[in-house]
Each structure stands twice: as C-alpha cells, then as structure tokens.
Amino acid sequence: MFEVSKSSIRTVTKETNNELQATDAIFIHETNLSGEAKQILVRHPISHGKIMQGKVISNAAAIKRLIGLNNSHTSQKQRQNSTLKSSFLDERIIAQNSEYVAFYCQRAPRTIWTSVEENLSFTISCPSLVFIYSKSSKNLNVYAYLQGGRPKPETMLYLVPFMNISNTGNVCTGSMKLPRTWGQGSVDTIVNSFFNSRFTHSNYRSLGSDIYDMSYSNLEYLGRLASSQKRMKKADLIPYELLSETLGRFR
C-alpha cells in the first residue's frame, strides 16, 4: 500500500460556449514507501463537476495529454483566424448596405464584344469603372471615372460610352450571369460577366452625342480607340455626377 502524505492537482479543461469546463484532474501524489519519498501521477476524469476514481499514469502520458490540449486549442484558434480572414471585404468595395454594394475596377486594356449586325470585338484602353449592384433585384449600374486607383467621394463620374447602358447608368444585363447571393468572388463574377457580354444596342436617349446615342457611331468610336490604343478623352465623355451624389441615390 502506498502511504499518501500530501498531493497537489492539475486540471485539464475545454472551452464550451466561451466558458471553461474541467474534464480531467491530474493529481500529483507524494508517497513514502520504506522511508523513500516518491511522486506518482493519477488522472481522474471529472463528470458533472465530480472527481471520479482515477488511474496511475506515467509522466510521458501526462505530458502527452497536456500537449494535446494545447494543440487542440491552437487548431481552434487557427480555424477562427481562417474564418476571419475569409470574411474580409474585397478591397475594391467602396460602400454597401443591406441592398446595394458599390465597387470599382481600375482602368486596364479590355476587350469589348459587340453584336449589332455582325459580331465584332475591340480591345481598348478602358477607363476605371464604378459598379453599383442590387443584391435583391440584380440590377446593375456602371459609371466611368478618369483617374486610376480607388475613387473618392468627390470623384466625378461619367456615363460609359458603351451600348446596353441607359441615361442613368443602368445596364441591360440580358444574359449576363450575375451572382444569386452576394459573397466572396461576387465582384469578379460581375466584372467578368459585364465584359464577356455582348453589347448589342444603344440604350442612351437624346444625350446629344452620337457615340452614345447611335449604335453605329459607337462602333466607329470603339474602332478608333482600338486602333490608337489611347485613353478615352474627357471631352468625349458626358459627365454624370459626383460619386457621393450617386451613392446617395441608392438607399
């Protein structure tokens, strides 16, 4: 028989609903057998707050148990961090509410596909664009701006001189594939779908500029841009309003 003179305790816990709940108790028993002091480890399970009958365990088993607990806690933290990272907003998003999300894409070479009487394509230097998307109705508006980078509230927006767009910037989406629900990747889905669609007809009305109002004049304009590879001139574009004013209309 071991003669127990004194003991101490270490508990192993787990986190449940942000509260700590003890699952094990590891007692360190100091014994005196034949006048020789020794220590042994006894692991006791805890059930409903009560310490149950335990078993002697080795030092290695105790260390393994404690290391395993630490690794489990670390893995949980890693999963939490991964979840947080995956929920970061796309840096191209300018503003959003429960219904609308506004985002931008920077100026870059883009291929515009048209289909009026025949299928044509024009690779042009496309200006920076602001998109405003309705998450429920799937309506899409698009506007141009002359600067590069992220637009500011005071950035002037212009009507985009492409077909399929109305006087208010609303896009005739036709067969565009738009996201059913908003989530990671939705910005790229909309941008890619916009540029991969066919621009078929002028939706602008009485703006006083043939490149907006007339489909064939628009095709000629795109042809000139493709040949020169120059950026659109401010003089060719029709001003709309400031970005802050446009965002204020989408509530």
pLDDT digits (tens, 9 = 90+) for 81-123: 544 444 567 999 999 999 999 999 999 999 999 999 999 999 9
Nearest to 131 by CA among 190, 174, 183: 190
Using alpha carbons, list the distances in angstroms from residue 175 to 58, 117, 178, 194, 197. 69, 18, 9, 10, 7
CA distance 124 to 149: 18
- Cα angle value 155/161/162 (rounded, 5°): 125
- Report pLDDT for 7: 44
- Nearest alpha carbon to residue 138 among 104, 103, 96, 172: 172
Check residue 19 and give its pLDDT. Answer: 55
Contact 44, 51 (CB under 8 A): yes
Q: In 3D, which of 90, 207, 116 has the Cα closest to residue 160? A: 207
93-96 and 156-158 strand pairing = unpaired
Distance, CA of 80 to CA of 83 (rounded, Å): 5
What is the domain partition of the chain in residue ranges? 4-86, 93-248
- Read off the tokens for 101: 């999300």
CA distances from 220 to 111, 166, 214, 224, 236 (A): 15, 19, 10, 6, 13
H helix and E strand count, the chain: 5, 14
User: Phi first, then psi: what are they for 117, rounded to 5°?
Assistant: -105, -20
When pLDDT is cut at 50, 70 and 90, the band that residue 5 belongs to is: very low
Provide the token pair at 122. Answer: 């024009």
Q: What is the pTM of this model?
A: 0.66
The pLDDT-based confidence of 8 (bands split at 50, 70, 90) is very low
What amino acid is encoded at 48 in this protein?
Answer: H
Q: Is 167 helix (H, G, I), strand (E, B) or coil?
A: coil
Could you tell me which residue, 8 or 232, shows the higher pLDDT?
232
| Chain mean pLDDT for the chain | 84
Q: Name every residue whose Cβ is closer than 8 Å to that of residue 62 and which is 6 or more positions away in sequence.
A: 26, 41, 43
Looking at 116-207, which runs of residues are DSSP E strands? 119-126, 128-134, 140-145, 156-158, 198-199
